[in-house]
Structure 1
Amino acid sequence: MAENDRPASPPPEERERLDKEAKQKEQEEQSKLPYKWTQTIGDVDLSATIPANIKGKDLDVKIAKTSLKAGIKGQEPIIDGPLPHPIHVDESTWTLETTSSGKELSIHLDKTNKMEWWAHVVTTAPKIDTSKITPENSKLSDLDGETRSMVEKMMYDQRQKEAGQPTSEEQKKMELLRKFQDQHPEMDFSNAKIS
């Protein structure tokens, strides 16, 4: 597809309006869920307010590698369905805490893949737009060196792709080709393709 065959992107004010509408729709869908959830690149946390008279033994919580079910025994579950990605079951937990407004069920899920954002906690719930997530730099600094450099590389490559620029891998290949060209000036590289 030639560059000028691409559909023209909407003007900034139109894009801003569309983004705002999408964000509002997303917030409405998320607010209707019987739980609230947040995530970092490495884990997912969700919480649900439950009646003050409920005790831990009254709850039915099942955390599995690829599914989650939680609720009060004998009632419709608060959350029940397949997870979008696997988790470490041994590192995932749930607690029941007393709050000023009653009690709160808190569930912590430890992601197996620490390199991806989740669009939802269970696949039956409405999705969020993960492309709009901006990781907090403080959270990035919590990662170990190798993981942090991988995340930073992924973020760099994503920005490069969005700007139509070469990714770090493509830049490495171009640099290797340049070095090879310098060492072999007698060869013709005019039709060389980097892929």
Structure 2
Amino acid sequence: MDNYSWTQSLQEVTVNIPVPHGTKSRLVACEIKKNHLKVGLKGQPPIIDGDLFQSVKVDDCFWSIEDSKSISILLTKQNQMEWWKYLVKGEPEIDTQKVEPESSKLSDLDPETRQTVEKMMLCMFKKLANSVSQPGATENHGSPNK
């Protein structure tokens, strides 16, 4: 049985921990703190017990038993504009440069990032509009003065 796996988006981290089939939620010990995660089965050593890469919004985090065979934990990141290099300290780091970002809406971005993206988009549209409104400006295709 593998220890656990985790995935992330810019906003959240999802942790999946396989447990014996038929495990009930009352047998799970899960403690989510701002900078620490401790989870396992009652009466056994914890499966995860460590400091998180970054802080989480504790009130927006929760866990559940999925299909009576795994614990699923949703951690809402405090800083929702950063990829985590690891879940808990002591794990091997992942290369966050290789993370494929998911598509996001402008409304999902914080105001500062949104403003930067909007400026970049405006510049791109201006360049595109300029090249479309002046097609072949340096050439005389179709001109009777060839």
TM-score when scaled to structure 2?
A: 0.71
The reply on whether 1:64 has 2:33 as its aligned counterpart is yes
Tell me the equivalent position of 2:58.
89
Q: What is the alpha-carbon distance in structure 2 between the residues aligned to residue 151 and residue 39 of structure 1?
A: 21
Q: By how many angstroms is 1:147 displaced? A: 2.5
Q: 2:94 aligns with which of 128, 137, 141?
A: 128
Hey, what does 2:13 align to over in structure 1? 44
Contact 1:115 1:151 in 2 (8 A): no
Name the amino acid aligned to 2:58: V
Judged with a 3 Å threshold, the aligned counterparts in structure 2 of structure 1 residues 63 and 145 are, in CA distance, closer, same or farther, namely: closer
Residue 123 of structure 1, CA deviation: 1.2
Counterpart selection for 2:22 from 40, 48, 53: 53
User: Higher relative contact order at CA 8 Å, sep ≥6: structure 1 or structure 2?
Assistant: 2
CA contact (8 A) 1:120 1:128 kept: yes
Q: Percent identity?
A: 38
Which residues in structure 2 correspond to 1:6-21 (within 5 Å)?
Answer: none
Shift of 1:121: 0.9
**Structure 2 Cα separation of the partners of residues 34 and 92 of structure 1:** 21
Structure 1: gaps (5+ residues):
1-31, 155-195
Give 1:78 shift.
1.6
| Over 3 Å off, 4+ runs | 151-154
Larger gyration radius, structure 1 or structure 2: 2
Which amino acid is the alignment partner of residue 65 of structure 1?
Answer: K
Aligned-pair CA distance for 1:77: 1.4
The AA in structure 2 aligned to 1:44 is V
Residue ranges of structure 2 left out of the alignment (5+ in a row):
118-146
Q: Retained in 1: the 8 A contact 2:2–2:18?
A: no
How many residues align? The count is 118
**Equivalent residue number for residue 144 of structure 1:** 107
Q: 1:43 to 1:146 in 2, by over 3 A?
A: closer
Could you say what the CA RMSD is over the residues aligned between the two structures, in angstroms? Answer: 2.5
